[in-house]
Structure 1
Amino acid sequence: MAAPQDHTRLNLSAGLASVTVAGFLVALKLWALWTTGALSIAASLADSAMDLLISAAGLGAIIYAARPADEDHAFGHSSVEDLVSLGQALFVAGSAGAIAVAAVSRLVSPAPQALAQEGAGIAVMAASAAVTLFLVGWQSRVAKRTGNKVVAADMLHYVGDLIPTIGAMVALWVSERFGWTRVDSIVALVAAAIMLRGAAEIGLGAWHALMDRAASPEIIAGIAEIAQIWPGVRGFHDLKTRTAGARLFVQIHIELDGEQSLEAAHEIAASLKRAILEAYPQADVIIHMDVWKHL
């Protein structure tokens, strides 16, 4: 297993690569939008601008969340990831709404909006897709090695970005080949809908985490299963969980035989904690030991 320092270095490299690629794509698509006037490219540009914001915030969150717990933040700093995600979701929703309004305006207009230099626009979108695929490949490799959920989520987001990029290429090709310029607005509406759905998912997940919502039923059931079968544990109760960013916080009361030594009881609790951490590496586990009462 790689050292924590190696994990941090890999996660930072993925974050820096994401910011660099997003900045490059924003500049490239700004030129394409100015050249073609295509709304589908505007949708892809807004998505890339959102990516730049998300990537920069994600990189900052990776750096800040990695800080150890201190006197003012006894449970660490991982909640910053949820705060950043909530802000990102609001930005995404606003951008999608603006694109949708512009697309509907063009669709209801009696005269279709003319596009220009579709070939140049297609070339730009193809280059954007190629660069995005390269970034996704690197992020996938880093996420598999380090298990960092921020990098994994960013990777999935960029996979979703390929949809409006490919849609813009299709719209420009149809416009150049058949003169159907309204397809551009339809593609922009689809891209806006995808962005709104992503914003809702990101925002809802961040909101639940900030409100200390419990972990998923699957995770809770998995922890309970480990505790139920652990040697020396006669029972357990008050299993509580919450999430903050990529961190999972777990508290559980276990019932132990009061006739055994204190050292033996602590060893049972410590071994159970190690087992939970092995199953959920991002967890912060607190185990309370209670005396098992004979019925």
Structure 2
Amino acid sequence: MSEQTRLNRRAGLASVAVAGLLVIAKLWALAVTGSLSVGASLTDSSLDLMVSLGGLAAIAYAARPPDEDHAYGHTSAEDLAALAQSAFILVSGVVILFAAVGRLMDPTKSELASEAAGIAVMLLSIVLTLALVWYQRRVASRTGNKVVAADSLHYVGDLVPNIGAIVSLLAARQLGLTPIDSVVAIGAALFMMYGAVKIGKSAMDALMDRKAPDEEIAGIAEIAGTYPGVLGFHDLKTRMAGSRTFVTIHIELDGQQSLYDAHEISAGLRAKILSEYPHTDVMIHKDVWFPPK
């Protein structure tokens, strides 16, 4: 197992451990407070646990080398997992939204209890989330794994419902403004639904072979266009699958040079692209060019 794969798996295991601990803590907080905003945060953490488990499985499966049936590897498993997770998150957000609106419109005033316990659990959630995000970003900066980076970004977004739950519990305890709990839950639900749509779109784009970002394509073109021995290039094509970008490019080489020299230029160019974009898989086609007589 490579060092990058080992780091990615450790980050995935850390994510699963934190999410599991927070689910247990928030289940208890929901039981003692009856707060919908805590319930929204609990749902978010439960989804985080599913996402983290799916991400860990995707990291493990995507790390498998190409085989006879999967010549380009297994990285699309990440996109399939993300698409399923985004659909589940979207449905859960809709359920929370309707529950929160229903309580807000209910003329019967709902009371919250044990707000201090709920606040303590939310503070624990924030501390653990910040520690996890810090670790994930360290790993992502070393490995360039998009799954770990996306998971880190997702947990940054989780701070919103956690902070919102604290605000609603403080408002209920200090000011008696229990409707704020429902308002915060509505905001958390909308935030979750927005995130689910973004994750789903990204996964769908990859499954539909969407090209790499324009700045990445421009960077690869710059490397190819200025590499020594490359007289020109054409048919630069990219597609994304999971955390990898597949690159195909035709380069034009001097037809009068030796096959060995042509191979060295091609291999050097591939190594240069991989050094700048380590998450890529590069295939180079060599075309010969003869000067006009």
* TM-score under structure 2 length normalisation: 0.97
1:108 and 1:45 mapped to 2: Cα distance? 22
Structure 2 equivalent of residue 58 of structure 1 = 55
Question: Which residue of 165, 170, 173 maps to 1:173?
Answer: 170
The Cα offsets for residues 172-202 of structure 1, whole Å up to 9 and x where unpaired, read as 0000111100100111111111111111111
Q: Where do 5+ consecutive residues of structure 2 fail to align?
A: none
Bigger mean CA deviation after superposition, 176-185 or 145-154:
145-154
1:101 aligns with 2:94: no
Once the 2 structures are TM-superposed, how far is the Cα of residue 10 of structure 1 from its aligned partner?
Answer: 1.8
Bigger mean CA deviation after superposition, 5-14 or 271-280:
5-14
% identity of equivalent residues: 60
The Cα offsets for residues 85-118 of structure 1, whole Å up to 9 and x where unpaired, read as 0011001101111111011111111223211111
Question: Which residue of 240, 244, 247 maps to 1:247?
Answer: 244
2:136 and 2:95 mapped to 1: Cα distance? 30
2:45 and 2:220 mapped to 1: Cα distance? 39
**SS of the residue 2:69 aligns to:** coil
Question: Which residue of 143, 146, 151 maps to 1:149?
Answer: 146
1:8 and 1:281 mapped to 2: Cα distance? 13
The Cα offsets for residues 115-153 of structure 1, whole Å up to 9 and x where unpaired, read as 111111111111111121222222122222222221111
**SS of the residue 1:45 aligns to:** helix
Question: Which residue of 266, 271, 279 maps to 2:276?
Answer: 279
Root-mean-square deviation (Å): 1.2
1:212 and 1:146 mapped to 2: Cα distance? 23
Structure 2 equivalent of residue 214 of structure 1 = 211
Once the 2 structures are TM-superposed, how far is the Cα of residue 39 of structure 1 from its aligned partner?
Answer: 0.7
Structure 2 equivalent of residue 88 of structure 1 = 85
**SS of the residue 2:2 aligns to:** helix
1:15 aligns with 2:12: yes
Structure 2 equivalent of residue 113 of structure 1 = 110
Structure 2 equivalent of residue 39 of structure 1 = 36
1:219 and 1:50 mapped to 2: Cα distance? 32
Q: Which runs of 4+ in 1 moved over 3 A?
A: none
Once the 2 structures are TM-superposed, how far is the Cα of residue 294 of structure 1 from its aligned partner?
Answer: 4.2
1:268 and 1:162 mapped to 2: Cα distance? 49
Q: Supply the AA of the counterpart residue of 2:236.
A: L
Question: Which residue of 188, 194, 199 maps to 1:197?
Answer: 194
1:140 and 1:232 mapped to 2: Cα distance? 38
**Number of aligned residue pairs:** 292
Structure 2 equivalent of residue 186 of structure 1 = 183
Q: Supply the AA of the counterpart residue of 1:203.
A: G
**SS of the residue 1:52 aligns to:** helix
Bigger mean CA deviation after superposition, 187-196 or 147-156:
147-156
Q: Supply the AA of the counterpart residue of 1:233.
A: V
For the Cα contact (< 8 Å) 2:82–2:199, is it kept in 1? yes
**SS of the residue 1:61 aligns to:** helix
2:227 and 2:136 mapped to 1: Cα distance? 36
Structure 1 equivalent of residue 2 of structure 2 = 5
**SS of the residue 1:242 aligns to:** strand
1:158 aligns with 2:155: yes
Question: Which residue of 281, 285, 288 maps to 1:288?
Answer: 285
2:228 and 2:133 mapped to 1: Cα distance? 43
For the Cα contact (< 8 Å) 2:96–2:186, is it kept in 1? yes
